[in-house]
Amino acid sequence: MDQLPLRAPQHFINRELAALEFNARVLAQAQDGRVPLLERLRFLCICSSNLDEFFEIRVSGLKQLLELGSTQSAPDTLNIPEQLSAIHARALHLIREQYSALNDVLLGELHAEGIELLAGTEWDADTHAWLEQHFISEVEPVLSPLGLDPARPFPRIQNKSLNFIVKLSGKDAFGRDGDMAIVQAPRSLPRIVALPAAGGRQRLVALSTIVEAFVPRLFTGMEVQGCYQFRLTRNSDLFIDDEEVDDLRRALEGELAHRRYGAAVRLETGANCPQQMVDFLLQHFALEPLDWYSVPGPVNLNRFSAIYDLVPRPDLKYPVFTPGLPEGFSGVHDLFDAIRQRDVLLHHPFQSFTPVMDLLRQAAADPTVLAIKQTLYRTGDHSHIVDALVAAAQAGKDVTVVIELRARFDEEANIELSTRLQEAGAHVMYGVVGYKTHAKLLLIVRREAHGIRRYCHLGTGNYHAGTARSYTDYGLFTCDEAIGTDVHEIFLQLTSLTQTPRLRRLLQSPFKLHESLQALIEREITHARAGKSARIIAKLNALVDPATIENLYRASNAGVRIDLIVRGVCALRPGLPGVSENIQVRSIVGRFLEHSRVFWFENAGRAQLYLASADWMERNFFRRVEVAFPIQLAKLRARIREDLERYLKDTSNAWLLQSDGSYARAAPEAAARTAPRDAQAQLLEAYSAAARLPE
C-alpha cells in the first residue's frame, strides 16, 4: 500500500480554489431561509469581506510571483497563470451569486419587513428634497472632484475606497474642455444613510446612490453625461526583509504607510460603466481583463454591514445568549484557588471569556504575584486584557508581553498597544525575527506557602474579548508543574537567547510540532495494522501541508478511520479509491466562526488529545511559533470528545467535501427520519448560563 503515489497531483485540491469554495459556503448562509434575515445580510457582507482579503493577499501574492518570473506550480500542478484564470472564473460566478442573493432575494425580503434600501428611481419628491439637503450639508463639503487633463493627473486611489469616474462635456471657468473627472468618497462618510422613518418603515439609501444622483452639483456649467462607481483592490501584504531589519517596529511603521497604495490587483465597476471607461481604468492601473469584475449594484457589499447595526430588529437576528461558566468557576472569587483544585476548560463563545480577564485583574492586584508573561496576537480595540497588564505593570509586577506586530491587518493596533504597555513599564518583545508568534499563552508566577507556583492559560484563539463572542475556541487553565515549566521555557526562548527547550508536555513549532504530529499519525497506522483500535479526529481551520496529507492517506490505506472537521481550506481529497476511502471531511459554517483546533488520536483505547493554536499548514509548522497542549484530565477529554461528536453528527450547518473538490450539504438520514442536528445550537444549550456542565 505504501508504494502508491500518494503525492500524485490528482490527489490534491488547489488551495486557492478551495478558499473560494469556503466563501461559497459562507454565501450559502446568506441564501439559507432558515437563517434570520439580517444575519443573512451579514453573511453576505462577510463573504464580500473575505473575497476582498483573498484578492489583497492570495491573488496579489500569485501576481507578485508571476512578475518575478516564478515558474512554480501548486501541488495539483496548476501553474500561476492557470491558477489566476481559474480564480477569475470561480470568483466571477461567486460575485454573480452574491448580487443575485442581494437583488433578487434579500432586498425584497427586507422590504417585506419594512426595511427599504431605496434606489434613485424610488425617491418621491420629499425623499429627493431631504437627500439633496443631506448632500449639500454633509457630503458635498468633503468631496474633491478632480478633473483629468495634462495639468491634473489621475489621483492616487486608495485600496478598497469608493470612487466615481464622471463623463463630462462643455467648458470650465477657464475655457478648458473637460471630458472626465474623478470623485473620491472619503472614508469618513457613512456608506448607508438612514432617512427619517415614514409610516413605521425604516428607509435607507447607499452613499453611492446619493453621489450618483447629485454629482452634477459638483460640476456647475458642465454637462454630466454619466457617473460610474468603481473600486480598486490593492496588494495589502506587507513585506519586511527580516535579514535587513534593525528595528522591526520602525520598518513595519514605514510599510504601513504604503499599504493603501500597493500594486493594483482587481478593478470593480458598476454594471452600467461603459466599456470605454473600463478599458481606460484597466490601462491606467496596468490591469488585465481578467482583473475586472462588473457588478450590478454597489461595488462594496461589505458596507451593507452598517444596516445590521442601523436596524433595531432583534426578531431578524440571532437570539441573544448569555455565556455560561464551568462549575469550577461558578461563584468563585479566588480563581487561583479554583485552578489549584483542578484544570478548568472554557469553550467560547458558549462559555464566557470573562474568567481570563478576571484572572489577569486578580493577578495585577495580588501582592503574591511576582510576574506575568503573555503572548498577544490580536486583542481588539480598548482591550481589557491590555488594561489588566498595564495595571499589573504599574503595580510593580514584572510584566513581559510578546506582541506579534505582523498580525495581518492588526499591525497598527499592535504598535499602539506596545507603546501603551512600554509606557506602563512592561517589557515588550516582538518575538523572533522570521517567525510569527501565534501561540496563545499566559503565565502567572506566584509565591505561595510551599514555594513558587506557575499558573497558565493556554488557548486555541486570541486574547480578544470581541471575537470570543463569535469564534469557537477552547482555553485551558492549569497549574500543572510540567506544563508551567514548558510555558516558562518557551517564554525564555521568545525573550532571550537560548537553545530550543526540551519540553515535557507541549508540542511547539517550528521545532517538534510537525515531527510529533507525523509520529502520532504513524502510531495510529501501527495500531491499525496490528488489529487494534485506531482513529483520528482533527478539527482545524485549514489543511494544506503536503507531508501531513500524504501521511493521512497512508493511515487511511492502513485502515485508520479519519474524520476531519476543516472549516476553510482543505487540499486533501477524501473518498479516493485506494487513497482516502477511510477519510471524511466536513466543514461547519454556522452562526459562529469555527476556530478551535483539536487533535484526537485513539491510540488503541488510550486516547491522546491536544488543543492547539496551529492549523495543519506549512506556515504553522515551520514559519510560526505555535503550541499544542495536551488535555490530561479524563473528564475534560470526554467532554471535548462529546463536542466533536456533535460536530460529526451535525446536519444543519455541515458540508461534506466530495472527492472532486466540491461540497454537498449534510442531511439527516431519510430512513431515520431524524430532525436536523445543529452542533452550535446544542453547545449553546449545554453551556448556557442556565446550564451547569460538570467538569
**What is the C-alpha to C-alpha distance for residues 210 and 213, in angstroms, rounded to an integer?**
5
The answer to whether residue 660 scores a pLDDT higher than 80 is yes
Whichever domain contains 68, its CATH number is 3.30.1840.10
427 among known catalytic residues: no
Claim to verify: residue 444 and residue 304 sit in the same structural domain: no
Higher per-residue pLDDT: 343 or 689: 343
**Assigned C-alpha cell, 122:** 424610488
Q: Directed axis angle between helix 125-134 and helix 207-214, to 10°?
A: 90
Per-residue pLDDT at 137: 96
The 10 Å Cβ neighbour count of residue 100 is: 14
Lowest mean pLDDT among 165-179, 455-469, 562-576: 165-179
Look at residue 321 and tell me if it is in a domain: no
Q: How confident is the model at residue 251 (pLDDT cuts 50, 70, 90)?
A: low
B/e letters for 47-58, b = 16+ CB within 10 Å, e = fewer, are bbbbbbebbbbb
The verdict on 100 and 115 lying in the same domain is yes
Domain end residue (candidates: 282, 316, 350): 316
Query: Which domain covers residue 115, as residue numbers?
Result: 31-316
- Based on the domain organization, do 305 and 347 belong to the same domain? no
Q: Do 490 and 546 have their domain in common? A: no
User: Given 481, 505, 529, which residue is the final one in a domain?
Assistant: 505
Task: Of 237-241, 402-406, 612-616, 622-626, give the lowest mean pLDDT range.
Answer: 237-241
124 located within any domain: yes
- pLDDT band at 100, cuts 50/70/90? very high
pLDDT at 208 over 70: yes
* Residue 585: closest CA among 593, 576, 205, 174: 576
The answer to whether 655 and 667 are in contact (CB under 8 A) is no
Q: How many residues does this entry show for the chain?
A: 695
Q: Work out the angle at residue 300's Cα, subtended by the Cα atoms of residues 218 and 190, and round it to the nearest 5 degrees.
A: 55
Mean pLDDT of 185-212: 92
pLDDT tens column, 481-529:
999 999 999 999 999 877 777 899 999 999 999 999 999 999 999 999 9
Please give the pLDDT value at position 383. 87
Q: Is the pLDDT of residue 545 over 70?
A: yes
Instruction: Tell me the pairing of strands 471-478 and 597-601.
Output: unpaired
Residue 686 scores a pLDDT above 80 = yes
pLDDT band per the 50, 70, 90 thresholds, residue 7: confident
Decide if 391 contacts 361 (C-beta within 8 A): yes
- Under the banding of pLDDT at 50, 70 and 90, the label for residue 672 is low
Amino acid at 45: C
Q: Tell me phi and psi for residue 394, to 5 degrees.
A: -70, -25
Q: Is residue 573 part of a domain?
A: yes
Catalytic position from the list 11, 88, 348, 438:
438
> Do residues 683 and 649 lie in contact, with contact meaning Cβ atoms separated by under 8 Å?
no
Last residue in a domain, options 259, 286, 316: 316
Q: Determine the average pLDDT of the residues in 352-381.
A: 93
Regarding whether 607 and 560 lie in a shared domain, the answer is yes
CB 76 within 8 A of CB 272: no
Does one domain contain both 455 and 559?
A: no
| pLDDT of 694 strictly over 50 | no
**pLDDT the model gives residue 374:** 96
Average pLDDT over residues 679-687: 94
> What percent of the chain has a predicted confidence (pLDDT) above 70?
93
Per-residue confidence at 572, pLDDT binned at 50, 70, 90? very high
Q: Among 253-267, 276-290, 605-619, 630-644, name the one with the lowest average pLDDT.
A: 253-267
pLDDT at 693 over 60: no
pLDDT, greater one: 665 or 694: 665
Q: Is residue 21 part of a domain?
A: no
pLDDT at residue 221, rounded to an integer? 84
Q: Mark whether 553 and 499 lie in a shared domain.
A: no
Does residue 550 sit in the same domain as residue 492? no
pLDDT of amino acid 240 = 53
Per-residue pLDDT, averaged over 67-82, amounts to: 89
Count of structural domains within the chain: 3
Is residue 157 one of the residues assigned to a domain?
yes
- Amino acid identity for residue 38 in this structure: L
Residue 563 in contact with residue 555, Cβ under 8 Å?
A: no
Copy the grid coordinates of residue 524. Answer: 495510529
Please indicate, yes or no, whether residues 348 and 242 belong to a single structural domain of this protein.
no
Residues 164-175: tens digit of each pLDDT: 999 998 877 666
Question: Does residue 6 sit in helix, strand or coil?
Answer: coil
Please state which of the ranges 338-347, 496-505, 639-648 shows the lowest mean pLDDT.
Answer: 496-505
- Written as nine digits, the cell of 289 is 481583463
Taking every pair of Cα atoms in the chain, the longest distance, rounded to a whole number of angstroms, is 91
- Look at 268 and 693; give whichever has higher pLDDT: 268
Query: Per the structure block, which three cell numbers stand in for 203?
Result: 428607509
Residue 667 has what pLDDT?
84
Q: Does 173 reside within a domain? A: yes
- Predicted confidence at residue 410, as pLDDT, reads 65
What average pLDDT does range 273-297 have in this prediction?
Answer: 96
Per-residue confidence (pLDDT) for residue 491, from 0 to 100: 95
Cis? peptide before 141, omega within 30° of 0: no
Residues 185 and 48 in one domain: yes
* Residue reference for cell 480564480: 87
| pLDDT computed for residue 695 by the predictor | 41
C-alpha cell, 549: 496529507
CATH, residue 618: 3.30.870.10
Is the distance from CB of 654 to CB of 664 less than 8 angstroms? no
Query: β-strand 441-448 against 451-459: which pairing, if any?
Result: antiparallel
Q: Alpha carbon of 308 to those of 25, 42, 43, 69, 387: distances in Å?
A: 21, 7, 11, 45, 29
Residues 500 and 579 in one domain: no
Domain assignment present for residue 612? The answer is yes
Q: Quick one: 126 and 271 in the same domain?
A: yes
Average pLDDT taken over every residue of the chain: 91
Range of weakest confidence among 203-207, 383-387, 472-476, 655-659: 383-387
